[in-house]
Chains A and B, each alone.
Chain A
Amino acid sequence: MKLQAHIKLLLRWCVLLGMGCQSVAAATPVIEIEIRDHLFFPSEVDVPANTKVKLLIINRDPTPEEFESYPLNREKVISGNSKAVIFIGPVKAGDYPFIGEFYPTTAQGVIRVR
Chain B
Amino acid sequence: MKLKILNYTLSLMAILCTIQESYAGSVIDKIYHPYVNPLEQEVEWRGIFQDHQPLTPDNVQLHRFAYGRALSDRVFTEVYLVAHKASNHSLEIQAYELEFVWQLTEPGEFWADWGMLFEVEKEANLDKWEFTTGVLMEKERGQWSGTANLFLLNKWGSDSTDSFESRLSLQARYRYSRGFEPAVEFYSGQDTLGLGPACKGQIKLDGNKKFNWEAGLIFGLDSSSPNRTLRFLLDLEF
Contact = CB atoms under 8 A, between A and B. Distances in A.
Say whether A and B bind each other.
yes
A93 interface: no
Interface stretch (B91-99, B106-114, B212-220): B106-114
B108 A17 contact: no
A70 B178 contact: yes
B107 A6 contact: no
A76 B208 CA distance: 12
A89 to B, nearest CB: 7
Size bracket of the A interface: 35 or more
B107 A18 contact: no
B129 to A, nearest CB: 20
Contacts of A24: 109-110
Contacts of B40: 77
Given A16-B146, A77-B38, A1 B141 contact: no
A86 B148 contact: no
B14 interface: yes
B37 interface: yes
A64 B168 contact: no
Given A1-B189, A18-B141, A77-B37, A7 B14 contact: yes
Interface string B9-22: 01001101100010
A74 B35 CA distance: 10
A79 interface: yes
A3 B141 contact: no
B110 A22 contact: yes
B188 interface: yes
Nearest to A52: B108
Given A7-B14, A9-B170, 10 more contacts: A2-B21, A3-B166, A6-B168, A13-B148, A21-B112, A22-B111, A73-B107, A73-B145, A76-B37, A101-B208
10 contacts: A1-B168, A4-B14, A6-B167, A7-B13, A21-B3, A23-B110, A66-B37, A70-B178, A73-B175, A74-B107
Interface of A: 1-7, 9-10, 13-14, 16-25, 52, 64, 66, 70, 73-77, 79, 84-89, 101-102
